Structure 1
Amino acid sequence: MGNASSNQKEDLCANRHSYYTKLLSAPPLWSTQTSYSKWAKQYKNVEGFTDFADFTTCREARKRHGILVKPDTYDGRQLVSQLKSKSELTLIEKQKWKLSSFKLPRIPLTGLEDPYWLHSRHNRNRRECSVIGYHDTMAVLQINTNRYHLSPRFYILDLECKQVLGHFVVFYHCKRWYECYISPNKQQLLIRPDNLTRIVSLPDNYMIENISLMQHASKLRINAVPPTLRAHVLAFNSQAGDNFVLTAFYKEIELRSIGDWNVVRKSGTFRLPASIQQIKSSPLGDYIVVRCVHPLYNKEYRTNIVAVISYVNFELLLRIDVRGCYWPASEVINLQVFPYFSPSEATIAVMKNHAYNRKVITQKLPIVRLNLQYLCRRAILHLVSYRDVGKLPLPAQLVDYIQGKPRKICNV
């Protein structure tokens, strides 16, 4: 068995070298097609998708309700949360084979209309919990307590140190799930209701209260997205930093400052067949990918276009038509995890559902930086697994650059 394992590793390394050689000699916008099952088992490692994104596990039930074109606020990860008791939580990540346990502090609520709420054991039972945001070892957990109580609890968790960094409460007029966006340096948290699961016509006047942060996470800022941006799609960008966020509406992209929400940069109207419903940024922030679907409130999309845009000048680089059949078993992964950038940012993977099979299309991206450091990073992440980059005899700052981690400003 040892010989078989070593032969498989040698074949994988040989395939990586041959694929990278083809990638270097291929013209811009070169693409390959592979069946979804083969790509998820083997070819994703050959093509450089060796990070901890989960392309196979079915997502939670709450993510399968409403509109399926939802934001990927988990960096492609899949975290399963379980409440062992009233104050003990476990998080399981399949790709890392890792289980983390946390002791959750109690969040007292004062000024409630029901004075017996804190004394009622039934109302303290935590029934629903789910991770609503993840980025670089930081996760945000939402816990819904009771069907009659509309204020969910939120816990900020550090999965590396297995600590609770803080907690807060959101007051709202109805019970629902929320979206959480974490900035590149983990200095900003953006919270807003998940309008794509349950559409509410009432005003979105929600308030964040009872914020409590640990001393080493005191620089973290928690903000609510204003109701005027409820129809916009959001994404952070590494080059823009923690104090700015990308917003997209109709066929335009804007860069807004967090706090006053003023427009800093604005693109023109892109030549897209439908309005933008999804937006993502690459690890280093050089590329932006958007998805345009129409009609939105339907399962069979007549229009389903994935477009890659340069962040520097907001230029449309390529468009991929991924319109296909509706597969209930895989549509959540297709519309929420894909499109996905490789860690090297040399390729992007999209999924297309055909009548009897599923295909993954890997498209080569044009080079936007012509410097040796950037080209060496692309080569290392194709020839070495992303999970093994930390084992290379390189300085810590260089390893962080290769892994796409932004420059750390605060010790969160």
Structure 2
Amino acid sequence: MGNSNSSRYNLSQSRHEHWQKILEHPNFGLIQSVPYSKWIKSQRSYGGFTDYADFTTCRESRLRHGVLVKPDNTGGRYLIPSFKSKFELILVEKQRWFMSNYKLPRVPVPDFEDPQWFQRSSHNRNRRECSVIGYHDNLVVVQINTNRYYLSPRFYLIDLESNEIVGHFLIFYHCRRWYECYISPCKKQILMRPDNLTRIVSLPDNYILENVCLKSAFSNMEVGVVPPTLRAHVMCYNSIAGDSLVLIAFHKTIEIRRTDTWETVRSYQNLDLPTGIQQMKSSPLGDFLALRCVSPVHSKEYNVNVIAVLDFHTFNILMKVDVKGCYRPVSEVVNLQVFPHFSPSEATIAVMRNSSYTRKILTYKLPICRFNLQYLCRRAILHLVSYREVHKLPLPSNIINFLLAKPGHTRIGLSTSGQLQGSS
């Protein structure tokens, strides 16, 4: 009975068959609409979604409660940290069954006098929580809350390529919070801000960065904090904009700002959106932006839940998808924090829609935005070859880096005057 209606779904039997469907469909056309279980088992691989994103794990285990519409700062990957001992951290990734141990260096804390109530509560010093709050290009940022009451969480930078801790720092704030972490495309900058639960900011609201320590290989990296005036804004980096610029969204306006002075370089106002922007995600090469517009933010049953795709070069709205449905506790966190998800080839985008009895994955075709042989070959190769096996191809390292969207390869910069500049 469960498979009696399977023939009505446009299922693909191989990557070549799915690639042929992509070629036959028009831009922004619906290529496939299949149940979540079928997409996870086979159609995800046939559709080219072969990166390390984990679409199955509920993220509530991170103990980060509040508004579910949060930024995807880990590229869809699910990295689970835990303590092996007092000074040893274990990092596990479910999708790859990756596990590694890390010795935690001692982070010096400024000699502040602890309050009297804290001195008497020694049992609270043993309670520690940890979570991966950021990942990009083999760089992981882990937050550790040392105890139940102390207000200075510790942050460790872990390089998965060399398998070592390459830096650490502290943040002082007037209350205990989890933090959002934004890593620039070339890993030259890290921005931190408290995980905003209410989208309401009362000034003054300062959080202080202290004791930043980086190894020599990462000495050119800068760690900074987002100004409190921008704490309720939606943020993301973009590969085309580069490391010194960041995208800021508030209501129906998107701004490109410098991260040193936070001045506005370019602004796009009154976009044709049904409601305010609550989530923003950039494609691997940076040509597309996916916006999630939901209202009301604090409700589990959204009156408006729309995914809009923008062209980064012109900021024109290319397509809108209504994904409003019922609330499903099992998958709603995955839906709001992993989807929409660009395929590594940027040929398609996948969104999730929850219904009363089913969860469906809808795949739409994205247009070709760069008319050159390099880009066209990349779309085909990353769809027909698994993303995890690209490094096995007999190709030069610079081409492999381009296929994997490594920052700094055939990137386009944005000048302070707002004009696009080409670079290679």
What range is the shorter-chain TM-score in?
over 0.9
Instruction: Describe the superposition over 1:98-130 as per-residue Cα deviations: whole angstroms up to 9, x where unpaired.
Output: 101100101121221129989997565351111
Distance (whole Å) between structure 1 residues aligned to residue 195 and residue 119 of structure 2: 28
* Structure 2: stretches of 5+ with no match in the other structure: 1-10, 411-424
TM-score normalized with structure 2 length? 0.90
1:14 shift after superposition = 6.1
TM-score normalized with structure 1 length? 0.92
Partner of 1:9: none
* Structure 1: stretches of 5+ with no match in the other structure: 1-11
1:358 shift after superposition = 0.4
Partner of 2:363: 362
Matches within 5 A, 1:131-210: 131-196=132-197, 201=202, 203-210=204-211
Distance (whole Å) between structure 2 residues aligned to residue 198 and residue 137 of structure 1: 30
Q: Aligned AA for 2:353? A: K
Q: Which SS does the other structure have where 1:400 is aligned?
A: helix
Partner of 1:16: 15
2:36 aligned with 1:36: yes
Q: Aligned AA for 1:333? A: V
Distance (whole Å) between structure 1 residues aligned to residue 12 and residue 304 of structure 2: 39
Identity %: 59
Distance (whole Å) between structure 2 residues aligned to residue 241 and residue 386 of structure 1: 23
1:164 shift after superposition = 0.8
2:99 aligned with 1:99: yes
Instruction: Describe the superposition over 1:39-78 as per-residue Cα deviations: whole angstroms up to 9, x where unpaired.
Output: 0111010000000000001113345621110111100000
2:332 aligned with 1:338: no
Distance (whole Å) between structure 2 residues aligned to residue 62 and residue 140 of structure 1: 14
Taking a change above 3 Å as real, the CA distance of residues 86 and 371 of structure 1, as seen in their structure-2 partners, is same
CA contact (8 A) 2:60 2:333 kept: no
1:402 shift after superposition = 0.5
Q: Aligned AA for 2:69? A: V
Partner of 1:25: 24
Q: Aligned AA for 1:311? A: F
Q: Which SS does the other structure have where 1:49 is aligned?
A: coil
Matches within 5 A, 1:7-406: 15-31=14-30, 32-62=32-62, 65-114=65-114, 122=123, 125=126, 127-196=128-197, 201=202, 203-406=204-407
Q: Which SS does the other structure have where 2:210 is aligned?
A: strand
Q: Which SS does the other structure have where 2:14 is aligned?
A: helix
CA contact (8 A) 2:201 2:232 kept: no
Instruction: Say what the alpha-carbon RMSD is for the aligned residues.
Output: 2.1
State which drifts further: 384-393 or 17-26. 17-26
CA contact (8 A) 1:157 1:164 kept: yes
Instruction: Describe the superposition over 1:370-393 as per-residue Cα deviations: whole angstroms up to 9, x where unpaired.
Output: 111100000001110001100000
1:170 shift after superposition = 0.3
Taking a change above 3 Å as real, the CA distance of residues 58 and 197 of structure 1, as seen in their structure-2 partners, is farther
State which drifts further: 46-55 or 147-156. 147-156
Distance (whole Å) between structure 2 residues aligned to residue 41 and residue 181 of structure 1: 31
Q: Aligned AA for 1:160? A: E
Q: Aligned AA for 2:205? A: D
Distance (whole Å) between structure 2 residues aligned to residue 122 and residue 215 of structure 1: 37
Taking a change above 3 Å as real, the CA distance of residues 141 and 408 of structure 1, as seen in their structure-2 partners, is farther
Instruction: Describe the superposition over 1:321-376 as per-residue Cα deviations: whole angstroms up to 9, x where unpaired.
Output: 00000001110000010000000001000000011100000000111111111000
Q: Which SS does the other structure have where 1:243 is aligned?
A: strand
